Amino acid sequence: MRRKSVYRFAIVSVCLIMILAMLGGCKGNSDKPQAENSANSNSKQVTKQNENNVNKISFTPGTYTAESKGKEGSIQIEVTFTEDQLTDIKVLSQGETAGIGDAAIDTLKQQIIDGQTLAVDAVSGASETSAGLLAAVEDAVKQAGGDVAAFKSNVVKKPGEGLTEQLTADVVVVGAGASGVSAAVSAADKGAKVIIIEKTATIGGASNLSWAGKFYNSSASVNEGLKVNVEQEIADWIYNNHWRVDAAAIRQYVTKSGETYDWLADKGYKTMFMNFAGEPLHVLPAYDARQELLRNMLAESVEKNGGQVITETTAKKLITGTNGEVTGVVAEKKDGTTLEVTAKSIIMATGGFSGNKKMVKGGFWF
C-alpha cells in the first residue's frame, strides 16, 4: 500500500478529531456509589500464583474509610482487612469519568487485592484517578496499622513478562480515539488489513467527553437552510487566533467536515443537528452509546477484513529499518507481553496535543 494512500485514509480522521475537540468538556460522570465489583467477593485470599512472593503483613482487622482526590473530585472508599490480608475495597462515592476513570478504579481494586500490594501501575489514560485510589488505599493501610513500605514492596510479576508476540498488517493505528477509529475504518474499507491498538480499555478517547461538534455545510445543515461561507469561516478562524495556526489544516477541517458528517452517519454514528444562533452544531449520540457505536464501526470494517482491535496495550516505541524508515510499533499488553506489530504504514493517532506544553508554546495550533 502506498504511503500517500494511507494519508488519504487519515483525512477523515483529522477532520473528526478536530470536530469532536471543538466543544469538549461535558462528561458522563456519576456521583453514585459504584456497584461492588463481583470479582472482589472471589478474592478473599491471595492467589496461589503470587502467594510465595508476598510479604506477610499484619493488620488490625476491621473496615476503614479513606478518601483522596481523583481527577474529577473525591474518591471515597471502604477497605476491609483481616489479620494478614487486605480482602476488599468498596467504592462509596466517586465522580470520575464514566467508562474511563471508573473502569480504572475497578481494575486497580482487583490488582491491589490479588497482589496484596500498592506496587501496581497506573491505568493508562487515567493516571490521576489511579493516583487518587492508591492514595486512599494507602491511608486505609495506615489506619489498619499496616506497614505501608512493606505493602508497597510486594511486586507481582505479570504473566506475560518475557514473552513476545509478533503480528503483521498493512496498516497499524496507534490510538483508538475518534481519529484513530476513523483512520482504521477508512483504511480497512480500502482493503487494508488493519491493527489498531489502544492503551486504555475504552474506545473513543476524548470524543466520549464532548457533547457536540461542528460539521460545516453538512447535508443536515444545508437541509435546514444553514449554509456557511467557508472562506469567511477560515479567514475568521485564522484572524481570531492571531495567525498562529496551520491554515492548511483549518482549510481541510472546514471544507471536509461536511462530507465527514455523511460518512459518519452512513457508518451508524448519527448526530442531531442544531442551529445555534447561526452556528451549525451537531449533538453527538448519548454518552453511554458512543463506545458501542465506534466498536461496531471497527467490527464491520477492521475486524471483518481480518484486522484486530487490541485494547489495554500501550505503544512504547517505533520500529525502524536500516534507512530510518518506520516499519512497525513495539507495545506492551496488559499482562506484560511485548507486542511487535510490523506494517507497511503507521498512523499515529495518540492525541494529547493540549497536554504537551512544548507543542502548545511552539504555536503549532490548528
Q: Which of 4-8, 50-54, 197-201 has the largest mean confidence? A: 197-201
Higher-pLDDT residue of 52, 343: 343
301 close to 312: Cβ distance less than 8 angstroms: no
Query: What local confidence, expressed as pLDDT, does residue 357 receive?
Result: 66
200 close to 100: Cβ distance less than 8 angstroms: yes
Query: What local confidence, expressed as pLDDT, does residue 101 receive?
Result: 85
Residue 288, pLDDT > 90, answer no
37 close to 106: Cβ distance less than 8 angstroms: yes
Query: What pLDDT band is residue 360 in, cutting at 50, 70 and 90?
Result: low
Query: What local confidence, expressed as pLDDT, does residue 9 receive?
Result: 42
Burial zone of 189 (CB within 10 Å; 0-12 exposed, 13-18 middle, 19+ buried) = middle
The sign of the torsion formed by the CA atoms of 302, 306, 311, 314 equals negative
Mean per-residue pLDDT, 140-144: 97
Residue 323, pLDDT > 50, answer yes
171 close to 193: Cβ distance less than 8 angstroms: yes
Which neighbouring-strand residues pair with 345?
171
Per residue in 24-52, pLDDT tens? 333 434 343 333 343 344 343 334 444 44
Largest CA distance in the chain: 71
What residues contact residue 109 under an 8 Å CB cut-off, 6+ apart?
Answer: 37, 40, 89, 91, 133
Q: Which of 45-49, 208-212, 355-359 has the largest mean confidence? A: 208-212
For residue 97, which of 34, 38, 29 has the smallest C-alpha distance? 29
The β-bridge relationship of strands 86-93 and 74-81 is: antiparallel
Q: Give strand ranges (E) for the chain.
A: 62-69, 74-81, 86-93, 164-174, 194-197, 212-213, 272-276, 279-283, 308-310, 313-320, 326-333, 338-348
> DSSP 3-state assignment of 230?
helix
Residue 65, pLDDT > 70, answer yes
Please enumerate, as own/partner, the contacts of 263-267 that have beta carbons within 8 Å and a separation of 24 or more.
263/12, 264/16, 267/185, 267/297, 267/300
Where is average pLDDT lowest: 23-37, 260-274, 275-289, 352-366? Answer: 23-37
CA angle (339, 128, 43) in 5-degree steps: 70
Residue 160, pLDDT > 60, answer yes
For the record, the C-alpha cell of 234 comes out as 477560515
Per residue in 98-118, pLDDT tens? 777 888 899 899 999 999 999
Burial zone of 82 (CB within 10 Å; 0-12 exposed, 13-18 middle, 19+ buried) = middle
Residue 68, pLDDT > 70, answer yes
Residue 221, pLDDT > 50, answer yes
- Give the sheet arrangement for strand 313-320, strand by strand: 308-310, 194-197, 164-174, 338-348, 326-333, 313-320
Query: What local confidence, expressed as pLDDT, does residue 352 receive?
Result: 67
Query: What pLDDT band is residue 13 in, cutting at 50, 70 and 90?
Result: very low
Mean per-residue pLDDT, 238-256: 92
Query: What pLDDT band is residue 156 in, cutting at 50, 70 and 90?
Result: confident
First to last CA, the chain: 29
Displacement of CA 165 from its chain's centroid (Å): 23
- How far apart, in whole angstroms, are the C-alpha atoms of residue 186 and residue 266? 13
Mean per-residue pLDDT, 355-361: 64
Higher-pLDDT residue of 55, 241: 241
For residue 194, which of 170, 213, 178 has the smallest C-alpha distance? 170
Q: Which of 127-131, 167-171, 251-255 has the largest mean confidence? A: 167-171
Mean per-residue pLDDT, 253-269: 94
Mean pLDDT of the chain: 84
Query: What local confidence, expressed as pLDDT, does residue 361 receive?
Result: 62
- How far apart, in whole angstroms, are the C-alpha atoms of residue 157 and residue 53? 9
Burial zone of 257 (CB within 10 Å; 0-12 exposed, 13-18 middle, 19+ buried) = buried
Query: What local confidence, expressed as pLDDT, does residue 48 receive?
Result: 43
Query: What local confidence, expressed as pLDDT, does residue 257 receive?
Result: 93
Query: What local confidence, expressed as pLDDT, does residue 51 receive?
Result: 46
Mean per-residue pLDDT, 261-284: 93
